């Protein structure tokens, strides 16, 4: 089972604020904490003392702190990849290598005596992970996570994200990616337009970002990149992540009947497996509601994302729930009762035949 995570940046905040945020995240079941040493100046002792307190507090909540570093930091702090005692003393669960070495060093680091996890950058699309695997790492201590991108339009393109993620999935390694809070105000750098992995996620609600990752089945752990997310966002993200079935938001027309509302919102829908290119069919509603009246109304032509209920003129199909996947002519036998909400319309492409899902009203 994957984990949810938050990010903290102690050098840009106070211990009290970080503590309050960790308490809130812990309350909603968050297990991972990301933090970064990339922007830190100063010697090892100063760095250690600054981070130790907040890491110790996270550890007391049974949370796992991953510290972002790069090879230059090893030199700056005068530490060696052969000796990870610095991070052990800091209380870190693991270290994330923003920039890697050659593969051999990473493999050796996974065999450290402290059991410290080594998380490598998944976003490059090179043969980096193959190189690490060729040096026989301890797989138990090797994880992958994508980058996050504070610069608008610089986030990963979806197909590249899939390619990179599959490289790690193929080795059965734990994967992680970042989502973006709209209430958060800072990250590790002064400039940011949010902190997400996928560019397509930048302006979406946090729950929608999470639903997308869950539906891709490529990411285990999902972490909020910026700080501090609101309690409402933490709650919405946890609900989306832990939901027994995926849900998609819908906007219902004012003319929808009470029984049609039940057909759309009250049922656990099942995507019929003998799929059509034109409609996603959830057929059990026509059996459950066979004795209900479905008079014709709103029988306009259909476009992708429309919510459809076959009316009485469609004979044995009366009461069947469908979602339009393409433009279609309406012969007058299909009631158009609403639409998938525009910001979640893309999730339609990720629902799989024979899978179950819920439709929930957009608030």
Residues 127, 289: Cα–Cα separation, whole Å: 55
**Helical H runs in the chain?**
15-27, 44-60, 71-76, 85-90, 104-109, 128-134, 158-169, 206-216, 231-242, 258-265, 285-288
Question: Can you give the pLDDT at residue 4?
Answer: 98
Question: Can you give the pLDDT at residue 329?
Answer: 98
Q: What is the pTM of this model?
A: 0.96
Question: Can you give the pLDDT at residue 85?
Answer: 94
The CA-to-CA distance between both ends of the chain, in Å, stands at 29
User: How far is residue 53 from each of residues 11, 30, 90, 188, measured CA to CA in Å?
Assistant: 12, 19, 9, 18
Confidence of residue 120 (pLDDT cuts 50, 70, 90): very high
Which residues, other chains included, contact 70 with Cβ-Cβ below 8 Å and sequence gap of 6+?
Answer: 38, 97, 98, 99
Mean pLDDT of the chain: 95
pLDDT > 70 in the chain, percent: 98
Residues 174, 187: Cα–Cα separation, whole Å: 24
Residue-wise pLDDT tens digits, 54-100: 999 999 999 999 999 988 888 888 888 889 999 999 999 999 998 88
Handedness of CA 315, 318, 321, 325 (dihedral sign): positive
Q: What is the mean pLDDT of residues 349-358?
A: 97
Question: Which residues are bridge partners to 282 per DSSP?
Answer: 321
Question: Can you give the pLDDT at residue 40?
Answer: 67
pLDDT at residue 39 above 70? no
Domains of the chain by start residue, with CATH: 4-243 (3.20.20.70), 248-361 (2.40.100.10)
Q: Count of CB atoms within 10 A of residue 319's CB? A: 25
Residue-wise pLDDT tens digits, 218-275: 999 999 999 999 999 999 999 999 999 999 999 999 999 999 999 999 999 999 999 9
- Minimum mean pLDDT among 20-29, 73-82, 100-109, 306-315: which range? 73-82
Residue-wise pLDDT tens digits, 155-174: 999 999 999 999 999 999 99
């Amino acid at each position: 089972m994957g984990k949810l995570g938050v990010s903290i940046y102690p050098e840009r905040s106070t211990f009290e604020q970080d503590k309050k945020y960790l308490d809130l995240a812990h309350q909603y079941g968050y297990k991972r904490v990301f933090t970064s040493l990339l922007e830190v100046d100063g010697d090892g002792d100063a760095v250690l003392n600054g981070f130790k307190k907040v890491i110790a507090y996270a550890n007391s909540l049974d949370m796992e702190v991953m510290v972002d570093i790069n090879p230059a930091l090893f030199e700056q702090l005068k530490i060696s990849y052969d000796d990870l005692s610095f991070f052990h003393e800091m209380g870190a669960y693991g270290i994330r290598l923003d920039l890697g070495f050659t593969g051999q060093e990473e493999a050796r680091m996974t065999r450290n005596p402290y059991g410290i996890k080594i998380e490598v950058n998944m976003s490059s699309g090179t043969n980096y992970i193959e190189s690490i695997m060729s040096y026989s790492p301890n797989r138990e201590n090797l994880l992958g996570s994508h980058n996050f991108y504070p610069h608008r339009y610089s986030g990963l393109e979806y197909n590249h994200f899939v390619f990179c993620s599959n490289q790690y999935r193929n080795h059965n390694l734990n994967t992680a990616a970042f989502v973006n809070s709209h209430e958060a105000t800072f990250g590790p750098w002064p400039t940011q337009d949010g902190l997400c992995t996928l560019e397509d996620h930048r302006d979406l609600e946090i729950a929608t970002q999470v639903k997308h990752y869950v539906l891709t089945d490529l990411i285990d752990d999902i972490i909020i990149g910026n700080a501090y997310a609101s309690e409402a966002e933490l709650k919405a993200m946890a609900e989306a992540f832990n939901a027994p079935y995926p849900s998609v938001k819908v906007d219902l027309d004012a003319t929808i009947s009470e029984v049609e509302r039940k057909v759309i919102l009250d049922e656990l829908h099942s995507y019929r497996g003998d799929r059509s290119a034109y409609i996603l069919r959830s057929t059990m509603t026509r059996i459950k509601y066979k004795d209900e009246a479905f008079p014709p109304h709103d029988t306009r032509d259909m476009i992708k994302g429309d919510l459809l209920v076959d009316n009485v003129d469609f004979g044995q199909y009366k009461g069947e729930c469908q979602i339009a996947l393409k433009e279609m002519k309406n012969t007058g036998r299909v009631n158009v009762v609403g639409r998938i909400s525009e910001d979640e319309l893309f999730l339609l492409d990720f629902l799989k035949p024979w899978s179950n899902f819920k439709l929930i009203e957009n608030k």
